[in-house]
């Protein structure tokens, strides 16, 4: 498998924004930008991503695909699955995936993935795969966040070294991205469900237009859409929105 060029910077506004800015000038085929600190980290749906210089891991990977934008809709799910597998291999087996691209541990979020794409003059699609992972968050940060966050610390308050986590993540994600580039999301769908924290649970999906759908989470489509079974037993596939795990 190919090895990415890896750059680490002390401080930047957002590793995703930076790679999107650099992309038109040309980037190495596989490039990884790691930032110790971000001053304007971006989250999904226009939200901010808050991180800590000591306790967070924030980086973006650049990858070029010969696939349509629609086929890339499952990319964040495949990446979050790869992250869960990497963390399990480091002994952190209580981490699971929450649709579409969060990592959860004991009912709280530990990581998020933000994929932003750009069409290249070659006709290919360049993807910036941004990853924010809470390794050992200071309690001040946990308290100030609206969303309740978790990190990777164990009962003895010990967290793995960030370099260890980054190394394991890249070792898992690079072959995974090569496989995704070849075969798309479909081969990952079943394994994703085995790590899903809301599998077979009643959930509420909040749509971008503020309406809601409720149902039992029964699976994923080949593009990574969420399949909910309504009270009449009918399956429906959804491709956007925010998942609430409480039945409201």
Query: What is the C-alpha separation between 98 and 178, in angstroms, rounded?
Result: 23
Residue choice 11, 24, 39, 47 for contact with ligand BTN (CB under 6 A): 47
Residue 166 binds ligand BTN, judged by CB under 6 A = no
Q: Which CB sits closer to ligand BTN, 17 or 188?
A: 17
Rounded Cα gap, residues 99 and 94, in angstroms: 16
Q: Is residue 58 near ligand BTN by the rule CB under 6 A?
A: yes
56-65 and 31-38 strand pairing: antiparallel
Under 8 Å between Cβ of 102 and 72: no
Point out which residues pair with 170 in neighbouring strands: none
Collect contacts of 123-126 with beta carbons under 8 A, ≥24 apart.
Answer: 124/64, 124/65, 124/66, 125/64, 125/65, 125/66, 125/67, 125/68, 125/69, 125/72, 126/23, 126/27, 126/62, 126/63, 126/64, 126/65
Q: How far is the CB of 32 from ligand BTN (least distance, A)?
A: 11
79 binds ligand BTN, rule: CB under 6 A? no
Contact 19, 31 (CB under 8 A): yes
Q: Give me the catalytic one of 42, 98, 105, 109.
A: 109
Contact 75, 114 (CB under 8 A): no
Q: Which of 4, 74, 130, 224 binds ligand BTN (CB under 6 A)?
A: 130
Question: Taking CB under 6 A as the rule, does residue 49 contact ligand BTN?
Answer: yes
In this chain, which of 131, 137, 177, 220 binds ligand BTN, going by CB under 6 A?
A: 131
Question: Do β-strands 5-12 and 31-38 pair in parallel, antiparallel, or remain unpaired?
Answer: parallel
Q: Count the residues of the shown chain that bind ligand BTN, applying the rule CB under 6 A.
A: 20
Nearer to ligand BTN, 18 or 176 (CB): 18
Contact window for ligand BTN (CB under 6 A) among 35-43, 77-85, 88-96, 197-205:
35-43
Interaction between residue 67 and ligand BTN (CB under 6 A): no
Annotated active-site residue 109? The verdict is yes
Element (H, E) at 212: strand 212-220
Stretch of residues binding ligand BTN (CB under 6 A), selected from 8-16, 21-29, 179-187, 212-220 = 8-16
Taking the complex as a whole, the smallest distance from the CB of residue 128 to ligand BTN amounts, in Å, to 8
Catalytic residues: 44, 109, 246
């Amino acid at each position: 498998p190919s090895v990415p060029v890896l750059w680490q910077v002390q401080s930047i506004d957002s590793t995703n924004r930076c790679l999107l800015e650099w992309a038109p000038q040309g980037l190495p085929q596989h490039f990884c930008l790691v930032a110790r600190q971000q001053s304007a980290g971006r989250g999904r749906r226009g939200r901010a991503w808050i991180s800590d210089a000591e306790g967070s891991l924030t980086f973006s990977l650049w990858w070029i695909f010969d696939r349509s934008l629609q086929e890339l809709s499952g990319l964040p799910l495949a990446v979050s699955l790869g992250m869960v597998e990497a963390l399990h291999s480091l002994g952190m087996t209580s981490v699971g995936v929450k649709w579409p691209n969060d990592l959860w541990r004991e009912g709280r979020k530990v990581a998020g993935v933000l994929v932003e794409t750009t069409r290249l003059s070659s006709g290919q699609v360049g993807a910036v795969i941004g990853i924010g992972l809470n390794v050992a968050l200071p309690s001040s940060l946990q308290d100030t966040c609206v969303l309740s966050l978790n990190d990777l610390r164990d009962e003895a308050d010990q967290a793995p070294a960030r370099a260890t986590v980054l190394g394991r993540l890249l070792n898992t994600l690079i072959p995974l991205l090569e496989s995704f580039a070849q075969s798309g999301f479909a081969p990952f769908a079943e394994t994703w469900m085995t790590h899903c924290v809301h599998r077979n649970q009643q959930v509420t999906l909040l749509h971008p237009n503020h309406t809601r759908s409720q149902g039992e989470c029964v699976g994923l489509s080949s593009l990574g859409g969420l399949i909910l079974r309504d009270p009449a037993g009918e399956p429906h596939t959804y491709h956007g929105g925010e998942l609430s795990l409480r039945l409201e």
